[in-house]
A and B are shown apart, each in its own frame.
Chain A
């Protein structure tokens, strides 16, 4: 059988590519010059607090029922807003387009003065401290919005529906059932079972 080379179309690495390797090692070492700034690890495969909190954002929407009037059609979007700085970075975009009960998620990032837009959200993550958060909650109080706050100590007095808390190394959440009733949201009992239940002004 005659020998036909099938290798014409590819490059074969050989011992001659040493120059390439040395150059590579040099480039790598120069890159290390720009590496540093002390520890906060974000490694492949590790789960971070922000990832879990962002996943909760999505999860909560799955376990909450809005009044039917809040959706113009069975396929109209479910709007998830973040008011204040977005702590989730690119993760938030991962939620975009995900489907919850036929409603595709639409992500919106809002400034604190965009109250009308905030009122149109189904889920509103409020990245603010106590007073400012309470102000936002007040503005959307009667708009059937699932308001979520992050690490607020006097959560019952803010009036938001859900508060995310990291305790030890796990992420938990509190639900203010009075706030949920005010917003006319039906929260699935399995979610309530997992939450720490609070009421207005009481722990």
Chain B
């Protein structure tokens, strides 16, 4: 919450500055530069399409999905750049709300809990998240620090989301889903892009990207951005001291050399400040105190990729990256370096078999720069290595039926060898229907914290109820059964239905350890979950009105073995919504106006005491000229503020998400 005068001042000065500039633009046509924008966007993917597909593209309407969803036997959803932009989402976590079956909850201004198919938590640990193939979940807790997973939103080409296990290809942690954020190649971003704006929650933000052709076949782009976001509020309307700001910059070079070699080199660096109030244990009664902190986060990464085409459907990809993350806060500070190298080779044997195999090595090093009475992770200097190999065969049994068999072999420092096989089948019924089914195994290897943590909670004398890590933790294991059906019953209507049954064993529990109330991490829970997801898209009025929607249903049943605890059981059962749906409407209006609204419903979360809620986002954009777009976005319009999740393990504030409005100008040249 900010002083209203400040907000009004901010909005007015914003309007005056940009409004003034814009009307000058209208009145000075002599200065107008000719349109010379090399529109190579999404072109490379078009090249892989057969002529019958090319003939189906509508070339006057812009909001068409440039990439038909991959016909793979899994619950795949592809969120396009256009959908992200039109939703008004300003971050990757917020964009994920537009994916059917994703469970996105904002804990405070800079903290999200994100999962799919259950087990949501601030420390949710069953998703594999990648940005351009770089794994971004932290081995510290096997989850994702969503606050630092960002890029220029205009640079996101698409976000691929697989619900359900993807471990055969991607490895441990790809238990309940895989998210890959794919950014645009530098060949597709020639020219200048500048955007900026501000508002109530998104106080002010701006970005610049410039892309150019260096020489024949070599393109480069660089970007910089910052944002400054307002704090949330507590349930009682008081400011919750969680405002944050971040600056970030990066580059990407894409080169084509010779007949069949593509190279990519890319990197980012970022730095930010996040306010937070921690409730921490103290040594003396009442054993609890508040720590108001300005946390620092920073990081950098560098990735190189080489694609080689041997001809005859045989190609090789070799990729390597280095990634550093730095987090400093009063509870636990850490600097982590990760290095990874990975190779993958695909080739055909005869007409029917497409074989893919690969191998990888990853090493991660933690340097705990601050332990506290609240959280201790020891030893503070430690490295872990991961070796992996996988093999997959896609067999075209008939023209309509294909099977995909594969397995991953992995060796990690916690549990040794893990095998993660899967079998998938897909059958095409005529041209407009596909049925698929799969059985797969995935594991979630223990995190460093589960091995090495000691956690004291506030309000209890330190030591009395300490949660201990356990070096003997085993990997959580999942056997997943899935079926799916995709159909285009009539032109312009697409329907994608999936159902799953998941059987988990050795789920993490907090077992009794030592008197009086100390506990230790264990594998004392098992469970089943089942549910389904539906995704619909329909072009209700061609070239004018498009609707997308998603619905998901989930049931969880967790059971205690001899050791497991009820607290964790109830948490697993009640931390994800049973029912969830959203509808996104995209209208192309006359006068170059575009109007988008998103309505979403999220069921209650019993375990964290969050009631169900309905929220609405809206965006109105005006393409004022070829180069300039003006947009106004409203977020969470229904309530003044609403709660979406509650903190777990670490005593941070329970903040509520406020209504927000901002304006944005985007200039491309």
A and B: partners?
yes
Interface string of A21-51 (1 = CB under 8 A from B): 1001111111111111111111111111111
Check if A32 sits within 8 Å of B21, measured CB to CB.
yes
Check if A14 sits within 8 Å of B273, measured CB to CB.
yes
Q: Contacts A13-B271, A51-B42, A97-B258: A3 and B369 contacting too (C-beta < 8 A)? A: yes
Which of B59, B213, B269 is within 8 Å of A52, CB to CB?
Answer: B59
**In this assembly, does A166 line the interface, its C-beta being within 8 Å of a C-beta of chain B?**
yes
- In the complex, chain A residues whose CB is within 8 Å of the CB of B40: 51, 89-91, 94
Check if A54 sits within 8 Å of B43, measured CB to CB.
yes
Check if A56 sits within 8 Å of B54, measured CB to CB.
yes
Can you give 11 contacting A-B residue pairs, CB < 8 Å? A1-B372, A3-B333, A7-B326, A13-B272, A25-B18, A28-B21, A28-B196, A28-B665, A34-B669, A46-B41, A59-B54
Which of A111-119, A138-146, A148-156, A168-176 lies at the interface with chain B? A168-176
- In the complex, chain B residues whose CB is within 8 Å of the CB of A49: 59
> When chains A and B are docked, how far (Å) is the Cα of A79 from the Cα of B269?
42
Check if A51 sits within 8 Å of B328, measured CB to CB.
no
> When chains A and B are docked, how far (Å) is the Cα of A11 from the Cα of B298?
9
**In this assembly, does B667 line the interface, its C-beta being within 8 Å of a C-beta of chain A?**
yes
Closest to A46 in B: B62
**In this assembly, does B5 line the interface, its C-beta being within 8 Å of a C-beta of chain A?**
no
Task: Enumerate B321-355 residues with CB–CB distance to A below 8 Å.
Answer: 326, 328, 333, 335
- In the complex, chain A residues whose CB is within 8 Å of the CB of B33: 34-35, 37
Known: A25-B14, A170-B57. 5 other contacts (CB 8 A): A12-B298, A37-B627, A55-B47, A95-B47, A97-B217
Nearest Cβ in chain B — how far from A151, in angstroms? 13
- In the complex, chain B residues whose CB is within 8 Å of the CB of A172: 55
Question: Which residues of A are in contact with B by a Cβ distance under 8 Å?
Answer: 1, 3-7, 9-14, 17, 21, 24-52, 54-56, 58-60, 63, 89-91, 93-99, 102, 104, 166, 169-172, 190-191, 194
Nearest Cβ in chain A — how far from B283, in angstroms? 15
> When chains A and B are docked, how far (Å) is the Cα of A170 from the Cα of B81?
22
> When chains A and B are docked, how far (Å) is the Cα of A29 from the Cα of B369?
43
Which of A24, A30, A38 is within 8 Å of B196, CB to CB?
Answer: A24
Closest to A103 in B: B259
- In the complex, chain B residues whose CB is within 8 Å of the CB of A36: 25-26, 29, 31-32, 624-628
**In this assembly, does B383 line the interface, its C-beta being within 8 Å of a C-beta of chain A?**
no
Nearest Cβ in chain B — how far from A94, in angstroms? 6
Closest to A4 in B: B369
**In this assembly, does B616 line the interface, its C-beta being within 8 Å of a C-beta of chain A?**
no
Check if B213 sits within 8 Å of A90, measured CB to CB.
yes
Nearest Cβ in chain A — how far from B348, in angstroms? 14
**In this assembly, does B22 line the interface, its C-beta being within 8 Å of a C-beta of chain A?**
yes
The prevalent SS among residues of B at the interface is mixed
> When chains A and B are docked, how far (Å) is the Cα of A169 from the Cα of B56?
9
Check if A45 sits within 8 Å of B625, measured CB to CB.
no
Q: Contacts A7-B296, A38-B625, A104-B260: A47 and B42 contacting too (C-beta < 8 A)? A: yes
Q: Contacts A10-B271, A33-B28: A1 and B328 contacting too (C-beta < 8 A)? A: no
Interface size class of B (residues with CB under 8 A): 35 or more
Nearest Cβ in chain B — how far from A193, in angstroms? 9
**In this assembly, does B544 line the interface, its C-beta being within 8 Å of a C-beta of chain A?**
no
Closest to B41 in A: A44
Check if B54 sits within 8 Å of A171, measured CB to CB.
yes
- In the complex, chain A residues whose CB is within 8 Å of the CB of B49: 55, 59
Nearest Cβ in chain B — how far from A28, in angstroms? 5
- In the complex, chain A residues whose CB is within 8 Å of the CB of B47: 55, 58-59, 94-95, 98
- In the complex, chain A residues whose CB is within 8 Å of the CB of B68: none
**In this assembly, does B489 line the interface, its C-beta being within 8 Å of a C-beta of chain A?**
no
Which of B20, B184, B368 is within 8 Å of A29, CB to CB?
Answer: B20
> When chains A and B are docked, how far (Å) is the Cα of A33 from the Cα of B26?
8
> When chains A and B are docked, how far (Å) is the Cα of A138 from the Cα of B215?
36
- In the complex, chain B residues whose CB is within 8 Å of the CB of A94: 40, 43-44, 47, 187
What are the 6 tightest A-B residue pairs by CB atom distance, in nearest-first order?
A29-B21, A104-B259, A46-B62, A1-B371, A42-B39, A35-B627
Nearest Cβ in chain A — how far from B541, in angstroms? 14
Nearest Cβ in chain B — how far from A67, in angstroms? 21
Check if B35 sits within 8 Å of A169, measured CB to CB.
no
**In this assembly, does B380 line the interface, its C-beta being within 8 Å of a C-beta of chain A?**
yes
Nearest Cβ in chain B — how far from A21, in angstroms? 6
> When chains A and B are docked, how far (Å) is the Cα of A83 from the Cα of B32?
31
**In this assembly, does B464 line the interface, its C-beta being within 8 Å of a C-beta of chain A?**
no
**In this assembly, does B204 line the interface, its C-beta being within 8 Å of a C-beta of chain A?**
yes
> When chains A and B are docked, how far (Å) is the Cα of A5 from the Cα of B35?
49
> When chains A and B are docked, how far (Å) is the Cα of A63 from the Cα of B278?
65
> When chains A and B are docked, how far (Å) is the Cα of A178 from the Cα of B370?
79
Check if A29 sits within 8 Å of B59, measured CB to CB.
no
> When chains A and B are docked, how far (Å) is the Cα of A30 from the Cα of B206?
15
> When chains A and B are docked, how far (Å) is the Cα of A32 from the Cα of B543?
29
> When chains A and B are docked, how far (Å) is the Cα of A43 from the Cα of B85?
11
Q: Contacts A11-B271, A28-B194, A44-B81: A35 and B58 contacting too (C-beta < 8 A)? A: no
Nearest Cβ in chain B — how far from A162, in angstroms? 11
- In the complex, chain A residues whose CB is within 8 Å of the CB of B256: 96-97
Nearest Cβ in chain A — how far from B182, in angstroms? 12
> When chains A and B are docked, how far (Å) is the Cα of A48 from the Cα of B188?
13
Interface string of B354-373 (1 = CB under 8 A from A): 00000000000001111110
Interface centre among B52, B272, B311 (most CB of A within 10 A): B311
**In this assembly, does B539 line the interface, its C-beta being within 8 Å of a C-beta of chain A?**
no
- In the complex, chain B residues whose CB is within 8 Å of the CB of A44: 41-42, 81-82, 85, 154, 184, 188
Closest to B23 in A: A32
- In the complex, chain B residues whose CB is within 8 Å of the CB of A51: 39-40, 42-43, 46, 59
- In the complex, chain A residues whose CB is within 8 Å of the CB of B368: 1
- In the complex, chain A residues whose CB is within 8 Å of the CB of B85: 44-45
Task: Enumerate B122-166 residues with CB–CB distance to A below 8 Å.
Answer: 154, 157
> When chains A and B are docked, how far (Å) is the Cα of A42 from the Cα of B42?
12
Which of A7, A29, A43, A171 is within 8 Å of B298, CB to CB?
Answer: A7
**In this assembly, does B216 line the interface, its C-beta being within 8 Å of a C-beta of chain A?**
yes
Check if B247 sits within 8 Å of A47, measured CB to CB.
no
Interface string of B296-316 (1 = CB under 8 A from A): 101000000000010110000
- In the complex, chain B residues whose CB is within 8 Å of the CB of A63: 51
Closest to B19 in A: A29
Closest to B29 in A: A36
Check if B46 sits within 8 Å of A55, measured CB to CB.
yes
